[in-house]
Structure 1
């Protein structure tokens, strides 16, 4: 779940960022990134607010992400849709906007959408975070329903990642240990009890926000305050060997990680693009070279690189050679 930040109250100034064109027409006509991470859809997705998470439908016609305010005062899932070759402007998803919702994730076949929320479970006043799911019926998303036990528990669950086998990986807040990455195996149409991933991934510290390859051949996740970290939290990758065992985690290095927290990894369905969230590259540095006017301060605040979280993307192929 990590990555909640304290946001100031800000007023949109209408700053315009012109998106570059791409013949593929994917992702708001953004130019494809190279081997250096760049802002994703500046002024459209990455704006003056705190933006995080990413989910793209396998058909590349829906895109969801999360906008947050004041360290979790609210988290709302936004949705954009591509029709007749044109993307709609991001808007609050029709199932979000009342409770703290975040971290959407599609099933590999695109028929289900999962997310984390603190909305009360049916018939209860429970306010912990649980995982919820919607199914697509006749081209429309159904009402969300909570996943059953043993996926949901009395602890907080976050950041679902669903595989082709039906297994679900997610973050759970563990008693006396912090956050771990766990999974529930899908077997005979039911979920088995949650199992923590091995010590090559989970440690005595916090591990969270894991993207798991739909074929379960690699996992990318955030390790918090590790000795080899470049920031407060870095993204790591663990791959499976020929015996099907998870291998030692490797820091993804300066191409991905930097100052502060790097989190919310996501690989596009075609494995071409690597998305992540970060507060890096703020252009606000004090002391200023000259005295700022109120107008100038507002212009600094109301643009993507104001120090709050943005979504970045980079060519993914370099990480899977």
Structure 2
């Protein structure tokens, strides 16, 4: 597994960092166009199941939706049975497909009704055909009185996540907690090669922990708002200085929530990009409604980048 992953990313590195302008970025899943705002995707390694966050325009409503690949098409099948009441978001599916992690502001007890800060939760199932169990707060030391978001786990279950707890490095930062027999170690903030005095959030960790893709907000070298960055683990185990993925992927709008389908060489991410012009020519209600409900309308939408669709990747693909 480790050899396969490293090979994939040796091929992918020049593509991501150079950010070709001819990159074919596609919005995913036509069935999601019916929702005003979608973000945060997690796809099973079997390729037959996906989880996504559906929100109201301002995010007051935030639910987790399950999707299945049926007869060659992705279909939104249901709101997850435990979701729909509180603000649930940012799903991550474990490597064995039996544990789903997510962020939520739900109260710790089902007897309470007052929402709390965001914590990382999980639900489990016995097998792929069984139902999800009740949400479990993963507890300390990962969860604190501050907000924890966007869990992402490596193959050995080390957990990378975002937290706004106070630190010497800015506002929101990316942290890691090592998996041990007793649970998790006290989280450690990632170094200045990744975090800054600004905002870093929503990180995806490789299965072998060889790279980390995350969002950095309004950095000097960025394209505007949030951009996607990548940092690689060096031979001595330290994190290299993060590099912007470039204009072939990033946009002037918010680009965030990365997820990599390593098996199919596909990067998924959420973006608020817009293709509207400052001067338009809407002469019919039908045309206006079609334009307002399209992708790239300034609302969060999930996009994907296939390495095989990139001319740069084709030219640089190693044998």
- Residues of 1 paired with 2:261 and 2:221: CA distance? 27
Are 2:36 and 2:55, in contact at CA under 8 Å, matched by a contact in 1?
yes
Aligned equivalent of 2:18 = none
Q: 1:292 to 1:102 in 2, by over 3 A?
A: same
The alpha carbon displacement at 1:70 in A equals 3.2
Cα offsets for 1:84-138 (capped at 9, x unmatched): 7664434322221111111000112222110001111126545111111111214
2:25 aligned with 1:37: yes
The secondary structure found in structure 1 opposite 2:90 is: strand
Mean Cα deviation higher: 101-110 or 88-97: 88-97
Q: 1:305 to 1:86 in 2, by over 3 A?
A: closer
Are 1:222 and 1:262, in contact at CA under 8 Å, matched by a contact in 2?
yes
Matches within 5 A, 1:1-321: 35-41=23-29, 43-47=30-34, 49-82=36-69, 87-122=74-109, 125-138=114-127, 139-140=129-130, 141-175=132-166, 177-270=170-263, 272-282=265-275, 284-289=276-281, 292-316=283-307, 318=313
Are 1:54 and 1:103, in contact at CA under 8 Å, matched by a contact in 2?
yes
Are 2:42 and 2:91, in contact at CA under 8 Å, matched by a contact in 1?
yes
Stretches of structure 2 lacking an aligned partner (at least 5 in a row): 1-21
- Residues of 2 paired with 1:156 and 1:121: CA distance? 14
Are 1:267 and 1:274, in contact at CA under 8 Å, matched by a contact in 2?
yes
The alpha carbon displacement at 1:58 in A equals 1.6
TM-score scaled by structure 2? 0.82
The alpha carbon displacement at 1:243 in A equals 1.1
The alpha carbon displacement at 1:187 in A equals 1.6
- Residues of 1 paired with 2:35 and 2:287: CA distance? 15
Aligned equivalent of 1:27 = none
The number of residue pairs the alignment matches comes to: 285
Q: 1:87 to 1:228 in 2, by over 3 A?
A: closer
The alpha carbon displacement at 1:294 in A equals 3.6
Cα offsets for 1:263-316 (capped at 9, x unmatched): 00110141511001112242x334323x53444332322232322121110124
The alpha carbon displacement at 1:48 in A equals 5.4
- Residues of 2 paired with 1:45 and 1:280: CA distance? 16
Are 1:183 and 1:197, in contact at CA under 8 Å, matched by a contact in 2?
yes
RMSD, matched Cα: 2.3
In terms of fraction of residues, the more helix-rich structure is 2
The secondary structure found in structure 1 opposite 2:123 is: strand
